[in-house]
Structure 1
């Protein structure tokens, strides 16, 4: 995880370019990337032809500044960003200082698991590898297409800004599924600002869409968008990843534990997890071997518990796994519980996700007796929520509804990973040292986990279900992952999504609907409900019968961040 900021300042404003970033913005960028802070500047001379009585050419100088902060999680060293090298030196490693208008710059915030079909090895830094390929592309005659080809061949979550020095173009964008944040704001005179997060003065920022790669020629002002997939059949691709299987079954197709798709899902998840949890380096200032490098955002539900269980199969036996379970003091709910019980109950332990979390934690301990799972009970008093309210609102900008805020609260405090002392004699609170967090997001869209999926099947059978699943998968890149990234990365943590690995998503959308969820046959056919049945059957195979039967619950209701002051507030209400 890293922080990115880039600003393209037109000639009319270059003299007023401040020496430093606004302090609040620099603080937020440093919070995202605590291991390194770097800046470089470039000047680009643009020749402008003025049409008057006689054509007159004038040279206008644009100022460009690139800022990167780094959370070092890839390779055997801290890759000091922004990465720079002379654009005519494709042999450079990307670590030189670089200078002048012909020097290329890369600000990289991502995890490239595969580049050009090749897996990035444990000792390699993915940003440096991508930069080397971009520099090589600069020597190509069709520079724009060559650069686009490099970016299109990257698999993994990322956001980036790349200045190609020879042509004076700036390329920027987010990955196909929008797993990393990147905001943009238009400046006067054709100028442009790009950033991972808005500062306190956040007016004018909007999210860069995850629908392609954007290119702007310095001095021209207009921005071009280039699709992720081009050529014949490009329109058939979903989220720029693969073609959705719209086949209808020829007869009754029961999904059972012996179905091939269940075993394939296990293989796909294990492959995805190996990329995301193995070879995580120690923090640069760590002097001792860390036993906890991975934590799971843990509600105790089906998706996250399956991930925790499979992590046990992947990680070395001595690696501990933190399970981050968050519960909030909701004044409205607390008042109701006190009235109902005649006394003040332990409202944290009464939270739905805390109840589910402890139950699933116990089952994990039973199934994996040799693994040190740590249940991290993150209790958030109402006063603590209010103390951080403005910061969370600023982080999620430009999202600004009550639902955005309630979801962000849960993710923000879960990512902090800190147990709070709630009694005077409590021992020193534990804070998870893990800098990599795992999320189960994506399973509902891929495998039919929402309530509207059985409704679609009841109305139109498999044709209706397929249309609904296709709609959900197609919207993955438009989900609020940028908002979630900004809320969680503030603590110097990186969230990774095993269900959203490109290979897994491609396999899932190419698999027939009846091999993923089974609304045609009742629970008696397999022992678990129809929604996400493929994942529930996998949970049974992994020895987790209780988890296999867990119901879906939205995070804001499970952790009780929703409607803290009034039960009449709607999720779409704008934050006041």
Structure 2
């Protein structure tokens, strides 16, 4: 993984003050500064990860949480008392609400535009193994490039790479067969060099970039034709944004005020004309009904093979899997783990593919909720994650699976909220914050919040374990997960109809539509979900997780896997429904979302998770509506 910052202007650019001067002059147009020194890099990481101190109002609120809760309970009682005189009721409600607001209400700190130093520090957090700053003066143009690298593929390759009058910055992982055992950044520039021998320059560039298979963001400067090519893979799995001003463009892995998130496409910017064009890298296929369509059982088996291959590519491309210090307790591989069907299937496939006793961390996050007084360990996701982890341990007794509990107290939520808001920009709704902050803490390295749980007895039954969990586990408090690669189950809902909006297509009283029309609508809805997942989820999630120097990998969002699912699995196997009589003998609409994925879980002997319902992370981890008095806030509300 890499952090990218690229700026070009016709005006001379001021060097960032955080970069040591003078730079090393490489030739007439290049000057650089670079470092592999851990202490120097740590300074940049510390600057990029600063969180503001708690305000006086926040401290006062923390000191009076029980009093606010009492007031809130009193408020609820008055609202529910139907016998109280309406005018007196309104007066009491206003009085108590005023008391609550005086303690709990705080002014949101407005976001401010980052300067070059700020962006460099933030981008450093994405790649904590190597930093490079490069200045280029070419004709009338002045360039500034900053790269930070998280080294996961060997051999280690510095960035930017210069060849054939191209300068390349690359963030991501490629899974093209030709580069699985190579450094993917070097592979790109070499592939481009080969294509230049056969095609015109622009055609060679587009052919090369459309050939790439993986999760990436890229910036390619063509000095000869004075063009910049930048963008994201066709799903949009890596963050990239830009700001276009008169005679100036800035491209960055982390945006700030005024920046626009890139779409899931490739942009072509002409330095002379300042025109910005775009190219679609890949289009989704369409589903065409096959008269000799495979049976449901055959499709489930093929689904297993395709998804397992997608997991394998992402697991095998971590070089090496263990740290160099040979610490048997350290893993570079973890799963963002709610315990639901999507991530648990991914975890099971990782276990199947594990050939050594590498530790695998299953990261489960829960939030203390001062409004409801719920503890972080009582969240629905924690309960489900514990259950699924237990069964995985039973199913794979030779795999070293650890449940990593991240328990977020309200003070930590307050401390880190502003940093999360900055990272998730331009997203700015209550729902975005509740999702982003859940992923932020789930991937964090804050040992004070983290406990490692290991199962001591893999022969105990679930019934006995559930009665007294502490008897069968060892808890190590203050654990720091050093896993560099995190696997995510994101994409399964978009591919296999996991949301309520998919169910709503069928749960209507519009008799004018038959099932064939509804299933066609379902497939169109699923294709749309995939086409905008970069905008709805991926940019935000990538930034709040990568700020910890960790990389996300998405087996369900592999382009080959998506193409196979869309073109091969009929929508009738993604969503099923029937009408079942209830106790009063009334026929009740009974849906099954992600039907074929549930069949896969059964095929993998994972009945313990095959029927689990979809629960959004902000509700499963209880990161939504933490503030007292916020119970009526909507997810779509903008943060003030």
Same fold (TM over 0.5): yes
Residue pairs, 1:14-413, within 5 angstroms = 14=12, 16=14, 18=16, 20=19, 22-45=116-139, 61-75=140-154, 77-85=155-163, 87=164, 103-114=165-176, 118-122=177-181, 124-139=182-197, 142-187=200-245, 189-198=246-255, 202-210=256-264, 212-228=265-281, 240-247=282-289, 259-282=297-320, 286-288=324-326, 292-334=331-373, 347-413=375-441
CA RMSD of aligned residues (A): 2.6
Is the contact between residue 170 and residue 217 of structure 1 (CA under 8 Å) also seen in structure 2?
A: yes
Q: CA deviation at 1:575?
A: 1.6
Q: d(CA) in 1 for partners of 2:287 and 2:344? A: 28
Q: Are 2:417 and 1:416 aligned?
A: no
Q: Residue 186 and residue 315 in structure 1: after superposition, are their counterparts in 2 closer, same or farther (change >3 A)?
A: same
What does residue 439 of structure 1 align with? 488
**Please, what TM-score do these two structures have when normalized by structure 2?**
0.74
1:233 aligns with none
Deviation digits for residues 197-244 of structure 1 (CA, Å, limit 9, x no counterpart)? 03xxx221110111x21111222211111222xxxxxxxxxxx34422
Going by fraction, where is helix more abundant, 1 or 2?
2
Asked which structure has the greater CA Rg, the reply is 2
Q: Deviations over 1:295-315 (max 9, x none)?
A: 000000000001111111111
Asked if 1 retains the 8 angstrom alpha-carbon contact of 2:333 and 2:483, the reply is yes
Aligned to 1:8, the other structure's residue is in SS state strand
Displacement after TM superposition at 1:73 (Å) = 1.1
Query: 1:158, CA displacement in angstroms?
Result: 0.5
* Structure 1 position 453 matched with structure 2 position 502: yes
1:269/1:421 Cα in 2 relative to 1: closer, same or farther (>3 Å)? Answer: closer
Query: How far off is 1:248 after superposition?
Result: 9.4
Cα offset, 1:254, TM superposition: 12
Which segments of 5 or more consecutive residues in structure 2 lack a partner in the other structure? 20-114, 452-474, 582-589
Q: What's the CA shift for 1:266?
A: 0.5
**2: CA distance, partners of 1:313 / 1:523:** 37
1:254–1:358 Cα change, 3 Å: farther
1:534 aligns with one of 593, 596, 614: 596
Instruction: Measure the CA separation in 2 of the matches of 1:294 and 1:285.
Output: 11
1:160-184 CA distances to partner (integer Å, 9 max, x unpaired)? Answer: 0001122121100101111000010
For residues 15 and 131 of structure 2, what CA distance do their matches in structure 1 show?
19
Query: How far did residue 431 of structure 1 move?
Result: 1.3
Q: Counterpart of 2:142 in 1: which secondary structure?
A: strand
Change (3 A) 1:156 1:507: same
Q: 1:495 aligns with which of 543, 552, 565?
A: 552
Unaligned runs of 5+ in 1: 46-60, 88-102, 229-239, 338-346
The CA distance in 2 between the partners of 1:385 and 1:299, in whole Å, is 19
Aligned residue number for residue 7 of structure 1: 7
CA deviation after TM superposition for structure 1 residue 42, in Å: 2.4
Flag the 1:427–1:314 CA change in 2: closer, same or farther, 3 A: closer
Detail structure 1 runs of 4+ shifted over 4 Å in the superposition.
15-21, 138-141, 253-256, 282-285, 520-524
Per-residue CA deviations over 1:431-472 (Å, capped at 9, x if unaligned) read: 112100000011111111112223313454242233233223
| CA distance 1:140–1:18, shift in 2 (3 Å) | farther
